[in-house]
Amino acid sequence: MTRPATITIEGALAVEALLKSSAFRVQRVIVESGRHGMLVESAGELGIPVEEVSGEELAEIAGYDFHRGILAYADRPEPRLPDREFLQGAKRILAPIGLADPGNLGTIIRSAAAFGADAVLVEAGRGADVFARKCIRASATAIFHIPVFEVPSMPRFLFDAKEYGFVVFGTAANPSAKSLPDVHPGEKSIIFLGAEKDGLPDWFSEHCDEWIRIPMSSEIESLNVGAAASVVLYELFGRRKGD
């Protein structure tokens, strides 16, 4: 799947994080006249073209009127791959597989950063785009602060990850899966989350060391994948930091 070569970043906090990141080449900034003076100054110091327009013009460019006064365009960065040094040092990785909604993916990236994951892992070219506008917006700048790796083959990555001592967990609504409060993630773990409709793919079962489920009311079958990620991350990595 071909992804757009240019990505769009919206809002003051996201543009500020973009300007501070060395991982992105910023093409230009468009700002509503009279707003965000410090960001305009920062962009100018970096040699980035800045265009000032009216609020109405910016709404037309953005496609809606809640643009928060500033947009930036940047080159899509080359996909990042986890190297030997990362795999040796990392302890907590979150891996959403095949998500369709970029908003869910952005929410998961935000939660991963909030609860101390070392990285988010996706399969390159499959599912929602990590750099879709909606994903960047939903990540609330987290995409600029936590590594997001795009691996060409998830099964191949899992073979390598287990060589570095990672235990692989998969989330499921199956009653036979271990209840989340009873799970002990160990020193190095990867938590996999499945797609909104179909869950984790069939090939994953042979790589999964332990299936886990979130205990909930019998009247509700499952949570939104973004909400599920937050619950799992908090329970395993947030609340139990001393484990």
Q: What is the mean pLDDT of residues 76-88?
A: 94
Contact 86, 117 (CB under 8 A): no
- CATH code for the domain in which residue 40 is found: 3.30.1330.30
Q: What is the pLDDT of residues 170-194, one digit of tens each?
A: 998 888 899 999 998 889 999 999 9
Q: What is the mean pLDDT of residues 126-154?
A: 95
Residue 192 lies inside a defined structural domain of this protein: yes
Helical (H) or strand (E) element with 227: helix 225-233
Q: Same domain, yes or no, for 123 and 229?
A: yes
Residue 94: its pLDDT value, please?
A: 97
* CA dist., res. 79 & res. 124, Å (int): 8
Structural domain for 130, as ranges: 84-238
3-state secondary structure of 31: strand
Contact 148, 122 (CB under 8 A): yes
Last residue of a domain, one of 50, 75, 100: 75
Q: Same domain, yes or no, for 95 and 210?
A: yes
Question: Which of 65-69, 78-82, 125-129 comes out lowest in average pLDDT?
Answer: 65-69
Q: Same domain, yes or no, for 39 and 106?
A: no
Q: Same domain, yes or no, for 136 and 91?
A: yes
Bigger pLDDT: 135 vs 62? 135
Using the Cα atoms of residue 78, residue 84, residue 88 and residue 89 in order, give the sign of their dihedral: negative
Using the Cα atoms of residue 83, residue 145, residue 105 and residue 70 in order, give the sign of their dihedral: negative
Residue 241: its pLDDT value, please?
A: 55
Last residue of a domain, one of 36, 52, 75: 75
Contact 160, 136 (CB under 8 A): no
Residue 165 lies inside a defined structural domain of this protein: yes
* CA dist., res. 114 & res. 62, Å (int): 28
Q: In Å, what is the CA distance from 38 to each residue of 34, 176, 186?
A: 11, 55, 45
Of 39, 46, 101, residue with least CA distance to 70: 39
Q: Same domain, yes or no, for 67 and 166?
A: no
Residue 198: its pLDDT value, please?
A: 83
Confidence of residue 85 (pLDDT cuts 50, 70, 90): very high
Number of domains making up the chain: 2
Q: Same domain, yes or no, for 118 and 172?
A: yes
- Residue 212's DSSP bridge partners are 171, 178
Q: Same domain, yes or no, for 57 and 104?
A: no
Give the position of tokens 């909104």: 196
Q: Is the pLDDT of residue 242 over 60?
A: no
Residue 190 lies inside a defined structural domain of this protein: yes
Q: Same domain, yes or no, for 52 and 118?
A: no
- CATH code for the domain in which residue 227 is found: 3.40.1280.10
Q: How much is the pTM? A: 0.92
Residue 243 lies inside a defined structural domain of this protein: no
3-state secondary structure of 239: coil
Last residue of a domain, one of 46, 75, 104: 75
Q: What is the pLDDT of residues 193-214, one digit of tens each?
A: 998 888 899 999 999 999 999 9
Structure tokens at 242: 């001393």
Q: Same domain, yes or no, for 118 and 25?
A: no
Q: Same domain, yes or no, for 138 and 215?
A: yes
Q: Same domain, yes or no, for 30 and 92?
A: no
Residue 232 lies inside a defined structural domain of this protein: yes
Q: Same domain, yes or no, for 94 and 195?
A: yes
Neighbour tally for 203: CB within 10 Å: 10
